[in-house]
Structure 1
Amino acid sequence: MNKVLVETLLDNSDKWMKATELASICGCTTRTIRNHVAKMNKMTEKLIVSSEKGYRLDMMKYPTFLNNKNTQELTKRNREIYIIRHLLENSGRGVDIFDLAEKLYVSESTLKADIQQLKKELVKSNLLIKTVGDICFLQGSEQAKRKFMISVLYEEGNAQNELKENIQEMIGHISLSDLENDIKETALQFGLEMNQYSLNNLVMHFAITIERISGGNLLKKRISHALEMESLEYKIAKKITQTLEKKHAIIFSEGEIEQLSIMFVGLQQEGKLDKSSIHQFVDDKIIDILKEVIQKVEETYLIRFDNEDFLNKLALHVQNLYDRSKVNNFTRNDSLLDIKMSYPLIYDISVFISSYITEQLDILLNDDEISFIALHIGAYFEAELNDKEALKAILISYEYPEIIKQLQKKIERLCAGEIKIADDTWQIEKNQQPFIITTDRKVLLKHPGAVFVHPFLTKKDEEKIRHRVAAIKNFQHQEKMFHYIDKYFDTSLFFGQIDPASYTKKAIINRLVSKMAVQNYVDLNFENLVLEREEMSPTSFPSGAAVPHAMKMIAHKSCVGVMTLQEPIKWENQEVSLVLLIAISKPDVSEFNDFLEKIVELISEKSYVRELTKAETFENFILKLKMLSGNALSEM
């Protein structure tokens, strides 16, 4: 992601680029762009300049960035991935160390250090790097190699374009777009339509199969959960492999076709749903379970899901998910971390739903499947959330009605959902401090902070509106954040600079909950609810922070317990040195939705977590937290 962002700005160094434009190119959200710009500027100060016009690379700082230690660390990881790729692709004949060092433009000692690091990483994947003389070999089962290759490609492919480039490089002379079309068109012949996520997943697995076959690595053994040859899934996989055999002279074994057929399980009804025929495609049990859990979500989070189309689409997805679980085949989602960090509330609701589904259907869901449910929820709320977050404004003008109408449209289009102009000026009385835009200079005297514009907007008018909207929204954001900090954080629940020698994740949660119970914030059984949430999906982030909490709002009084550690501990797959344990009471549920998003956005920054962890006292911690929340606003 960082690589794609910098390269895009470098290619367009002669102009400013909007966050929406960068998000489209990088295949992510505008919030992700803001987060990554902040991270890059931590690596090299002011590398990416931001203004109301957008973002731009400072070419004077670019050489410093290339020589930055953190940049070199990124390069080191790219080098390790290159080594893994070559070991996977040449696992039969091995790779010459000297040739590899020459291709990577590094010394033999640097390469050997990289390989030593990779040996440790590969152990958990049941793979082994063995060196015989100057030749390195990758040892392990064919299944383990394929599984690890998928993880490598996904690590490289945070942006969809970069993922496609890596797959294309892997399959060489075969066109990736042709492969995608072959899969899509064959599926359509059997009446199967699929979304882009499902198609990407299929292309990934077919590409890996092609690469492994080309290298002489075949799956010959029939798999234990093979589908019947008369099944639709098997027929689709068979037809696609026949097409590929004819085009590219690739011979697929029966074991390969059986393995690929499983990738189609649960997809056959996607895209064909008619609202009146939901029961033809989804078991009544699943529909009933979803209705129950949606009701529970509404009661817990005070958010309504009253759209039938949303329920139908989610029901189809859960039916597909259930079908895949029968053959232990889950879908990968390369946007998982981005979803978890950028939309913590939506992700938390998806964990809640997944927990209920897991219990009722007796299946186990991984983080990737949880994130797919989050995508359904996010798509449903996108328009509603944008409208809710829009700043309400009032336009006062005494021009001709047609001019006022066109002016209002231009202002709303200019701010792209950031503001919504009220229909009636009488709303001034209902709002003590309205945001007023006016074409009448006399109004400025009555309403300090109002913005004067011409009936036909000039460039200067546009800049004034954007600046004023940003200033108001930043002030409101900071005011809210300070309110949450003062309300929820308590000196009695602060544990600073703790030596983590004897601490585990569970021990930290236990200590924080115990203190909350003594202060009558929660009951002791609250700990079990927090651990249940952690079991579904860990609340740790790559920044070094964890935000454990329960899926039920049953605290007597809302609070946040804080523990900072002298050294990080392992929290599932992340190193954590800052823990914020959140307990929310029923009356504060609405605020909690906003608070969770704001606190996660703040502690997603590694430099912020590092700064907060240094705090020696509660007062110092709160001071830093408020200061950093202000810094975060200036970077948005």
Structure 2
Amino acid sequence: MNLNKRQIQLILILVENKREPDYLPLSAKELSEKVKVSTKTIYSDVSIIQNYVSKFNVDLIKKPRIGIYIKGSDSDLLRILTGIEFKKNDDYLDNRTRRELVFSQLLNSDGFITVQELSDKYYVNRQVILEDIDDIELRLESIGLTLQRTSGKGIKLDIDEDSRRKILTQVVSRQIFNVVPTINERNLKIVNDNKLSIPKNLITSVDGILNNFTKNQNMVLNDYEYQSLLVHLLIAVERIKLGKFVKNEHWGSSTTYLTESKILAKELENALNIKFPKQEIYYIQLHLVAAGKKRTNNISTKLNTNDLLQNYLNDFGYDDQLYEGLLLHINSSLNRWKLGVSITNPYKDSIIQKYSYAFEAAINLKKLYEREYNTKINDDETAYLALHFEAYLERRRTNNNVIQAAIVCSTGLGTSQLLAARIKNDFSRVKIMKILSYDEYLKFDSKDIDLIISTIELPENNLPIIYVSPVVSTEELKNKIKMAIADNTSQTSDYSLFNSLISSENIMIDKVDNWENAISMLGKLLENNGVLRTGSIESAIQRENLSFTSFKNISTPHANPRYVKKTRIGVLKLQEPVVWGNQKVNLIFFIAFKENMDQAQLDTIYDRFWDILSDGRLIKKIISSNSSEKISDLLKGR
């Protein structure tokens, strides 16, 4: 016998009531108020619960004018609770999962769905479903769509098939790839069917067909191209089963990948007992062309130069790995961008939140390509570009942990070589880049050097210098180098750099009507305090229109560095939340960083900043604070 969530909740209430000393039976009215349903529903549920608990040698008693209570030994009650706990782990859905499923159900339905139908299906009361619908409606508004609500009929999403599939692509991708990064039968077994809007057996079947197809046709798809094509096929199969087809032929006049598209459609038809109409085959063709026209025997071994990318990276900084990675990614994506075929990135939100500096770099790069090719690149694509930048920044961070040193002595020979050998042996983090004579040192460009180790007196230098005897003891050498390394890295383990950006004078508590006004209000405060120049507010609003920086109940708008006078972080706590993208936000951090900030400093600041933003308890304390001084103290860890 399957219990719904409400019935499980009633059992837990009754068991908990029995455990209280001198407990009294609960009336149907009291129970109805606890689970927010009618007394009629309570009596119906009690009949079902009676049958369920009887299997455990437990009785559910209902006495007129007295109430309802549960009767049984502690051991038998424990057996019921244990069984319920397993059921909860298996069947219960968290809010986010349930909302995704409700959203996908709306997208798959052309007719009205009632709140009661959704309430019954997901074992929650009507109020919870109404809150889910409010959340979905907010998400739809952010992309210019509205949810149709009709009294007596329910809710309905009235959009064309193409739009329906584009949104479904995002929802289904999140459902599958947020839980299972690599699709295979073993991994999918850990995902319950009730957490997916598409059955697991269909996912594994289509995945197997697509995998064999790409091998047989010698096609090469990277991970996100493969995932995108898989999700498209899954949605196409589900919609075709419902008799819903794309309206346009989309491609039709081209023969590129048409033969391969027909082969793939036929394999799906044979395996799944469905029929792909002509326009759906053309739709597959569109996605194959968008994947990049690649075959294992026809891949260029040379990278084409790209002035647009090169010029941007000249300003940002790069290594060969970053340039080549971005170039390959962009070359394979250009077809997709030009054709307007979007790809879904299930890790987008995490990338935007965790790698904000890399995402900003990707945003600036994508603007160049949008202008150059008169196209639109969405946040999902931009987040993939950001991963290349983050990998590069991580390589730089790793390199930054190595102390690059030069040894200087009178001749650069003899004992200095011995000193270098001893350092290499005892200090894995110290890399000897050069051994210099005094004359060579005077002409030496030390821009890539972190530390000078010298056996002779040297003219003053901006770099740290430690002096040692050519035959210095190992202990003394260790102590001096350790002190130099500690000085070099002390900043990264200290919150003082982040704290220096926070001041109560740049923190305000107020109320606004929309997100644009929130940026304007906080921006004006920062302008008045000499942090920002005129033009910063407009640039921050333009930046938000490219990609909203909101997540959960927080937003982090940015000022363009050319409008920043002082590196600071402004804070606005709203008395009432405002809609910001597809979130409701009541805490805003206005990030104002000057141009050409040192990467090590940025890493230190962002590490501390994201520790704060991910600390839910701290954020709640900030939101409940009523003074700028208190918010400042909380951000500084006081």
Q: Same fold (TM over 0.5)?
A: yes
Do structure 1's residue 218 and structure 2's residue 231 form an aligned pair?
no
User: Is the 1:584–1:592 Cα contact (8 Å) retained in structure 2?
Assistant: no
Q: Point out the more displaced range, 78-87 or 287-296.
A: 78-87
Show the counterpart of 1:294.
313
Following the alignment from structure 2 to structure 1, what is the Cα–Cα distance between the partners of residues 528 and 155?
58
Select the residue among 379, 382, 389 that pairs with 1:377.
Answer: 389
User: Is the 1:345–1:597 Cα contact (8 Å) retained in structure 2?
Assistant: no
Residue-by-residue CA offset, 1:422-459 (whole Å, 9 max, x unaligned): 579xx998999x9xxxxxxx979x979x9xxxxxxxxx
Do structure 1's residue 565 and structure 2's residue 590 form an aligned pair?
no
Following the alignment from structure 2 to structure 1, what is the Cα–Cα distance between the partners of residues 336 and 614?
33
Do structure 1's residue 305 and structure 2's residue 332 form an aligned pair?
no
Show the counterpart of 2:51.
none
After superposition, residues 169-248 of structure 1 pair within 5 angstroms as: 172=199, 176-219=203-246, 221-223=247-249, 225-232=250-257, 234-248=258-272
Following the alignment from structure 1 to structure 2, what is the Cα–Cα distance between the partners of residues 492 and 160?
44
Show the counterpart of 1:251.
275
Note the C-alpha offset of 1:80.
4.1
Show the counterpart of 1:598.
608
Give the direction of change, closer, same or farther, for the CA distance of 1:548–1:77 in structure 2 (3 Å limit). closer
Residue-by-residue CA offset, 1:252-282 (whole Å, 9 max, x unaligned): 0111112222222342355868776333xxx
Following the alignment from structure 1 to structure 2, what is the Cα–Cα distance between the partners of residues 357 and 529?
19
SS at match of 2:579: strand
Show the counterpart of 2:171.
152
User: Is the 2:138–2:582 Cα contact (8 Å) retained in structure 1?
Assistant: no
Give the direction of change, closer, same or farther, for the CA distance of 1:387–1:252 in structure 2 (3 Å limit). same
Structure 2 gap ranges (5+):
1-80, 405-423, 433-450, 455-462, 467-473
SS at match of 1:588: coil
- TM-score by length of structure 2 reads 0.64
Show the counterpart of 2:288.
264
After superposition, residues 414-433 of structure 1 pair within 5 angstroms as: 421-422=429-430
Show the counterpart of 2:565.
556
Note the C-alpha offset of 1:290.
0.7
Do structure 1's residue 278 and structure 2's residue 303 form an aligned pair?
yes
After superposition, residues 34-53 of structure 1 pair within 5 angstroms as: none
Note the C-alpha offset of 1:326.
2.5
Give the direction of change, closer, same or farther, for the CA distance of 1:509–1:422 in structure 2 (3 Å limit). same
Note the C-alpha offset of 1:83.
4.2
Show the counterpart of 2:511.
499
User: Is the 1:127–1:144 Cα contact (8 Å) retained in structure 2?
Assistant: no
Following the alignment from structure 2 to structure 1, what is the Cα–Cα distance between the partners of residues 636 and 318?
34
Q: What amino acid sits opposite 1:482 in the alignment?
A: S
User: Is the 2:362–2:383 Cα contact (8 Å) retained in structure 1?
Assistant: yes
User: Is the 2:587–2:623 Cα contact (8 Å) retained in structure 1?
Assistant: yes
Higher Rg: 2
- TM-score by length of structure 1 reads 0.64
Do structure 1's residue 584 and structure 2's residue 597 form an aligned pair?
no
Residue-by-residue CA offset, 1:66-95 (whole Å, 9 max, x unaligned): 89xxxx996344444444555555657x87
Following the alignment from structure 2 to structure 1, what is the Cα–Cα distance between the partners of residues 561 and 139?
38
Show the counterpart of 1:529.
539
Following the alignment from structure 2 to structure 1, what is the Cα–Cα distance between the partners of residues 489 and 536?
35
Give the direction of change, closer, same or farther, for the CA distance of 1:174–1:592 in structure 2 (3 Å limit). closer
Following the alignment from structure 2 to structure 1, what is the Cα–Cα distance between the partners of residues 192 and 514?
39
User: Is the 2:559–2:590 Cα contact (8 Å) retained in structure 1?
Assistant: no
Show the counterpart of 2:498.
484
Show the counterpart of 1:351.
363
Residue-by-residue CA offset, 1:40-70 (whole Å, 9 max, x unaligned): xxxxxxxxxxxxxxxxxxxxxx99xx89xxx
SS at match of 2:377: coil
Note the C-alpha offset of 1:238.
1.9
Show the counterpart of 2:548.
538
Q: What amino acid sits opposite 1:193 in the alignment?
A: V
Show the counterpart of 1:143.
162
Following the alignment from structure 2 to structure 1, what is the Cα–Cα distance between the partners of residues 633 and 136?
44
Q: Point out the more displaced range, 338-347 or 78-87.
A: 78-87
Following the alignment from structure 2 to structure 1, what is the Cα–Cα distance between the partners of residues 505 and 318?
38
Give the direction of change, closer, same or farther, for the CA distance of 1:588–1:227 in structure 2 (3 Å limit). same
Following the alignment from structure 1 to structure 2, what is the Cα–Cα distance between the partners of residues 255 and 513?
51
Q: What amino acid sits opposite 1:305 in the alignment?
A: Y
Following the alignment from structure 2 to structure 1, what is the Cα–Cα distance between the partners of residues 636 and 168?
43
Q: Point out the more displaced range, 96-105 or 330-339.
A: 96-105
Residue-by-residue CA offset, 1:322-366 (whole Å, 9 max, x unaligned): 322332212110100111111122112111211222233332221
Following the alignment from structure 2 to structure 1, what is the Cα–Cα distance between the partners of residues 521 and 211?
54
Q: Give the length in aligned residue pairs.
A: 489
Following the alignment from structure 2 to structure 1, what is the Cα–Cα distance between the partners of residues 132 and 596?
55
User: Is the 2:510–2:573 Cα contact (8 Å) retained in structure 1?
Assistant: yes
Following the alignment from structure 1 to structure 2, what is the Cα–Cα distance between the partners of residues 580 and 80?
28
Give the direction of change, closer, same or farther, for the CA distance of 1:185–1:384 in structure 2 (3 Å limit). farther
Following the alignment from structure 1 to structure 2, what is the Cα–Cα distance between the partners of residues 564 and 619?
12
Structure 1 gap ranges (5+):
1-61, 298-303, 393-407, 412-418, 435-441, 451-470, 629-636
Residue-by-residue CA offset, 1:590-624 (whole Å, 9 max, x unaligned): 32354234313422434322222344444322221
User: Is the 1:545–1:604 Cα contact (8 Å) retained in structure 2?
Assistant: no
Q: Which has the higher contact order (CA 8 A, sep 6+)?
A: 1
User: Is the 1:561–1:581 Cα contact (8 Å) retained in structure 2?
Assistant: yes
User: Is the 2:497–2:605 Cα contact (8 Å) retained in structure 1?
Assistant: no
Give the direction of change, closer, same or farther, for the CA distance of 1:238–1:377 in structure 2 (3 Å limit). farther
Note the C-alpha offset of 1:144.
4.0
Following the alignment from structure 2 to structure 1, what is the Cα–Cα distance between the partners of residues 139 and 354?
30
Q: What amino acid sits opposite 1:508 in the alignment?
A: A
Give the direction of change, closer, same or farther, for the CA distance of 1:188–1:527 in structure 2 (3 Å limit). same
User: Is the 2:536–2:560 Cα contact (8 Å) retained in structure 1?
Assistant: no
Following the alignment from structure 2 to structure 1, what is the Cα–Cα distance between the partners of residues 379 and 525?
31
Following the alignment from structure 2 to structure 1, what is the Cα–Cα distance between the partners of residues 622 and 200?
51
SS at match of 1:187: helix
- Aligned alpha-carbon RMSD (Å): 4.7
Show the counterpart of 2:48.
none
Note the C-alpha offset of 1:199.
0.5
Show the counterpart of 1:623.
633
Give the direction of change, closer, same or farther, for the CA distance of 1:603–1:290 in structure 2 (3 Å limit). same
Following the alignment from structure 2 to structure 1, what is the Cα–Cα distance between the partners of residues 616 and 138?
23
